[in-house]
Every structure is written in structure tokens, then in C-alpha cells.
């Protein structure tokens, strides 16, 4: 009688699998890293908020800040500074920074352009032109600028998208970038003409264009916040579309993605986010450009849901940090946050490019 030797166990190919979750070790390691990054970004954001409330031309102890928030004393100067000045600018910085960062992720994803920012589609130029016209017609308050800037951003995005749609291939990333650049040049020329002929408009527009969190009140947030929330919701919904578009339009269409409808959804979210952010804090550059690259370095470039989540935390941290630094540089005055962001963001972006991690 012959006996049959027991069969050798079959070899498995690929990465080892974690028994508890059924996922590969590489996937589990990436997930743990992403969770750690989110926790770290949350801590960084908390520190930025605390610094924004405590530091400035008048430093206030953390204990005093806490009492001002939970049990304010009428007539206490420190409590008045915290509640009436620093809480509004901190909240505006949170909303504006998050909106700029999320818009940057969407723009870079939908155009497949690693240096895309809100200025690419002419959104900043449209908002700036609307504010210039409003100032020339007599507007003189931040509250009036909010709606003018938002309307200008929306109108600019619509014009650029419609003009790009007239091309034979439709609103592709290339045509959107080209038409956006042309619209920006045209709007900038119109702005220059108005400013050169009206010194009062030049003075008021210059302070808005630099970008700042100063002199913002809580009254600005309720009208704008619904647009930001809707923009974030649309951005999250569009994240799978961006993952597919990263493979190319043809591959995305083969995967069942309606490319035209998906790109329109992304652009709608961008308009809502950029219009809201620009109307609140001005056309601040580099937040929507640098933050997505930092997020890619931390969590990878292949899942836009994680990119959006991390960017929504890093954007406000960067803007609030720039605002605090600006307050500390020139007390009792301050350097506008837009200038500080540019000084901080340009070297960071150059370092990212030099490391070859722009698209990683």
C-alpha cells in the first residue's frame, strides 16, 4: 500500500495580511500613519487657536483667556480684548483657512496642475474687481465687501467655465487654465484703470487686497458660513471623482464616472469655498497652494478624502499662525496675515519642489 505525502501549503504572494482586519501590512501601516497625522493636525490647530487668543500686541495669560471665554467679567480689559477682538478674528481665520485649503485640493485635483490655486480660474481677480467697483461706488465697510467679493468670485468662475466650454474639447483642465489666465489679465487691467483714476479707492482697496484677519466681526460669519459648509460637503462628495480623474479622463469614464458632471461638481465646490474665503479675509495667496502639498507629503496623494480632511485642519493652522506672527512682529501695530503667509509659504513650496514631492 502506498501512502500519499501531505501536500505542501500553498505559497501566498503579495504583502502579509493582518489577521484582525484582513488588510495588508502596508495598508494598515498607511492607515495608522494617516490617523496619527490627523491627531497631530488637530493638536496643531488647537495650539494655533490658543495662540491667536492669547498673543498679540497685548499678551494675555491662558488662565485669563479661559475665564474670558467661560466667565467674562464686565469691564475687564483683557476679557474685552479676547471676546470682542480675538475670538472673531480666530473664527474668521478658521473658516477662511479651511475654505482656501479645501479649494486648493479641489483645484489641483480637477486640473491635474500641482501649482493650481484660486487665482487659476480667475476667482481672485473677479472678487478683486467687484470690490474695486464697490469701493468706487461708495462702499466702505468690510460687510459690504463680503457680498461684493463673493458675487465677483461666482461671476468670474461662471464666465471662465462658459468660455472654456465653447472650445471643441469642452472645459478641460488646459482650457480652464488658459481662459482663467486670460480673464485674470483682463480683470487686473480693469482694476488698474480704476485705481489709477481714484486715489480713495486705491487706499481702501490696497488694505483689503493684502489679506488680513483684523477688524473682522462675528457678524460676517453667518451669511458666509452656509456657503462654506455646502462647499465642504460637495468637496467630500466629489473626492471619489477626483480619485478617478487622477487616472485620466478616459480611464475615469471607463470606470463609470461622468467626467463632465463630476468636474462641474468640483468647480461648484471651488466657487463656493473660494468666494467665501476671499470675501472674508481677502485674496490671500499660498494657503490654497502650499497646504495641499503638505497634506500629500503626510498622507499620500491617492485618496482625496484624506487629503481634504488633513487640509481642512492645516489650512486654518497656517493662516492663524501667520496672523499671530504678524501681530508679534510690529506691536502695537501688525503685519497683515497675507504678507506673512507669502513669506512663510514661498520657502515651503520651494523646498517641496526641490525634494521632488509635488505630486507624491
Nearest to 276 by CA among 178, 97, 164, 150: 150
What is the model's pLDDT at position 20? 52
Percent of the chain with pLDDT over 70: 91
490617523: which residue's cell?
Answer: 35
Q: Which residue has the cell 462647499?
A: 231
User: How does pLDDT run across 156-181, given as a tens digit for each residue?
Assistant: 988 988 888 887 777 777 888 888 88
Q: What is the pLDDT of residues 292-319, one digit of tens each?
A: 999 999 998 889 999 999 999 999 999 9
pLDDT digits (tens, 9 = 90+) for 114-159: 777 777 778 888 988 998 898 888 877 777 778 888 889 889 988 9
**Among 216, 219, 232, 220, residue whose Cα is nearest residue 273:** 232
Contact indicator for 296, 357 with CB cutoff of 8 Å: yes
**Average pLDDT for 240-256:** 87
Helix (H) or strand (E) holding 333, with range, is none
**Sequence spans of domains, the chain:** 76-283
* Span 252-263, pLDDT tens digits: 888 888 888 888
Residue 357 has pLDDT above 70, yes or no: no
As a whole number of angstroms, the distance between CA 165 and CA 324 comes to: 43
Q: Return the percentage of the chain with pLDDT > 90, whole number.
A: 43
What CATH homologous superfamily does 76-283 map to?
ABC transporter involved in vitamin B12 uptake, BtuC (1.10.3470.10)
Peptide bond between residue 319 and the one before it cis (omega within 30 degrees of 0): no
DSSP state, 120?
T
> Residue 5's pLDDT is what?
47
Short-list 208, 257, 242, CA closest to 311: 242
pLDDT in tens, 322-336: 999 999 998 888 999
Residue 67 pLDDT = 95
Amino acid at each position: 500500500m502506498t501512502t500519499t505525502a501531505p501536500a505542501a501549503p500553498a505559497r501566498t504572494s503579495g504583502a502579509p495580511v493582518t489577521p484582525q482586519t484582513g488588510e495588508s501590512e502596508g495598508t494598515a501601516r498607511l492607515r495608522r500613519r494617516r490617523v496619527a497625522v490627523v491627531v497631530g493636525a488637530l493638536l496643531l490647530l488647537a495650539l494655533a487657536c490658543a495662540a491667536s487668543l492669547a498673543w498679540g500686541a497685548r499678551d494675555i495669560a491662558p488662565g485669563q483667556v479661559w475665564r474670558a471665554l467661560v466667565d467674562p467679567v464686565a469691564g475687564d480689559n483683557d476679557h474685552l480684548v479676547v471676546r470682542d477682538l480675538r475670538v472673531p478674528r480666530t473664527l474668521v481665520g478658521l473658516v477662511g483657512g479651511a475654505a482656501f485649503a479645501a479649494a486648493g485640493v479641489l483645484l489641483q485635483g480637477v486640473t491635474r496642475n500641482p501649482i493650481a490655486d484660486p487665482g487659476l480660474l480667475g476667482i481672485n481677480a473677479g472678487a478683486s474687481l467687484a470690490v474695486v467697483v464697490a469701493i468706487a461706488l461708495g462702499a466702505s465697510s468690510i460687510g459690504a465687501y463680503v457680498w461684493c467679493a463673493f458675487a465677483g468670485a461666482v461671476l468670474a468662475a461662471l464666465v471662465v467655465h462658459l468660455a472654456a466650454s465653447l472650445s471643441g474639447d469642452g472645459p478641460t483642465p488646459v482650457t480652464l487654465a488658459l481662459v482663467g489666465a486670460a480673464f485674470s489679465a483682463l480683470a487686473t487691467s480693469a482694476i488698474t484703470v480704476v485705481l489709477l483714476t481714484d486715489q480713495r479707492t486705491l487706499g481702501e482697496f490696497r488694505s483689503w487686497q493684502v489679506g488680513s484677519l483684523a477688524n473682522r466681526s462675528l457678524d460676517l460669519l453667518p451669511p458666509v458660513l452656509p456657503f462654506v459648509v455646502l462647499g465642504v460637503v460637495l468637496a467630500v462628495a466629489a473626492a471619489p471623482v477626483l480619485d478617478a480623474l487622477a487616472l485620466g479622463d478616459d480611464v475615469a469614464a471607463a470606470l463609470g464616472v461622468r467626467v463632465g458632471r463630476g468636474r462641474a461638481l468640483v468647480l461648484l465646490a471651488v466657487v463656493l469655498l473660494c468666494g467665501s474665503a476671499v470675501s472674508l479675509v481677502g485674496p490671500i495667496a499660498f494657503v490654497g497652494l502650499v497646504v495641499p502639498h503638505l497634506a500629500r507629503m503626510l498622507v499620500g496623494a491617492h485618496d482625496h478624502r484624506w487629503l481634504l480632511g488633513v487640509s481642512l485642519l492645516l489650512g486654518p493652522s497656517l493662516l492663524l499662525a501667520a496672523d499671530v506672527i504678524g501681530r508679534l512682529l510690529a506691536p502695537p501695530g501688525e503685519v497683515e496675515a497675507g504678507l506673512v503667509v507669502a513669506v512663510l509659504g514661498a520657502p515651503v513650496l520651494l523646498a517641496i519642489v526641490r525634494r521632488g514631492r509635488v505630486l507624491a
